[in-house]
Amino acid sequence: MYFGAASGFRLERESEFGSPEQNATVDEVVSAVRREGDAALLRYTAVFDKVSLTPDRLRVTADEIAAAYDRVEDEFLAALRQAAANIKAFHEKQKRGSWMDVSADGTMLGMVIRPLRRVGLYVPGGKAAYPSSVLMNAIPAQVAGVPEIAMVTPPGTGGRQGIDPYILVAAAEAGVTEIYRVGGAQAVAALAFGTASIPAVDKICGPGNIYVALAKRAVFGAVDIDSIAGPSEIAVLADDSADPRFVAADMLSQAEHDEMASAVLVTPSEPLARAVVAELDRQVASLPRRDIAARSLAQYGAVLLVGSLAEGVDVINKLAPEHLEVMTEDPMALLGGIETAGAIFLGPYSSEPVGDYFAGPNHILPTNGTARFSSPLNVDDFLKKSSLIRYSKEALLRDSAGIATLARHEGLEGHARAVEIRWEGGETN
């Protein structure tokens, strides 16, 4: 862990662009699925997941989903439904409708806002299953009005063809309309280009491993994607009013995700800094995922000392963290200066897991410093917009000379004539 002045810290992690070998593998898989459809999809599932499937076993059945409900605890289902209600209520506030503006001369300008027709969600398997991410991906699409939400997730290993029942229940609760037992780059390619068993989508959302990330990058343009997700990040901006136990616990809540995760404390208080380091050592020892958390802290953890909270805000804006907690005496006083963070948690009781699971705002956030220019997943990500232009006769007469002037300046005589053909001597034909 780095401990010292903020000016000496640089967060440098492995490239998200993958190795040449990884890129070559993804290119091969994507191209094969695009050419061969189901045949390649099933072949790569057998190679990478060690599961042999037939086309009729790709889609999860309604009976399997119903059986999944019998395998989850009532307590889990109640918590999941409350979380889903909170997430839906928050995202409902993001909805907006089409609009038209008619001026006195009869000109009408506006925008038609429609949902995407079909969206694909990638839900990872592997080290852990995250029902909360199913909710965060699917509910904004549902609120936007997307009629078809297809989910792909890796099949069980060892030939079991099993999918985590908690994932299936979360998908059903969140309005997912189709679920397919396929993962990896091959699943991304199937969503992008379609196969006989999996119709193509308009957009792919959801995190995955490096092969999934590279496949999403490869198919972008044929379809839209949400983002290329990097390792989790948390930054805590704190003064000496903060409880070091809270700060350390919240840093560990992200460090336990992945060895590549980053947890950073920014503070003008050296006593707090040292107390947090001691708390990290104490708390990590009893954490079930302590090996992962310890490696994360050792490689990418940091305690940054700054001269003031104002300097701390500047550091935060340079880091552009995925999650930012502000644990200061008056966090609202600093909010106006914070320009780059995916999600901002204010005060000692707004622990980051509150946002991960329950509060309602989306936990799919920009990583790797991309909070400088991007936003949390939201309803707008599942909408498309068309501009409306209906010019009146009077407006065309008024504006045609200016339009023709600009067109000819750009060397586009056909543009100018397309306007001028509609009038002669100030009169329309």
φ, ψ for residue 306 (rounded to 5)? -125, 165
- Contact (Cβ atoms closer than 8 angstroms) between residue 364 and residue 137: yes
Active site residue 363: no
Catalytic-role residue among 173, 279, 322, 325: 322
- Contact (Cβ atoms closer than 8 angstroms) between residue 247 and residue 254: no
Catalytic-role residue among 233, 257, 279, 323: 323
Run of H or E residues at 234: strand 233-238
Crossing angle of helices 74-92 and 131-144, in 10° steps, is: 40
Q: How far apart are CA 186 and CA 26, in angstroms?
A: 8
Q: Which of 139, 135, 148 is nearest to 95 (CA)?
A: 139
Token output for 32: 């094969």
- Contact (Cβ atoms closer than 8 angstroms) between residue 389 and residue 109: yes
Active site residue 394: no
Task: Please name every residue paired with 424 in a beta bridge, in sequence order, or none if there are none.
Answer: 427
Pairing mode of beta strands 343-346, 383-390: unpaired
Give Cα separations from 272 to 293, 311, 351 (angstroms).
Answer: 21, 17, 18
90: number of Cβ within 10 Å: 18
- Contact (Cβ atoms closer than 8 angstroms) between residue 248 and residue 280: yes
CA gyration radius, the chain: 26
Query: So which residues are the catalytic ones?
Result: 322-323
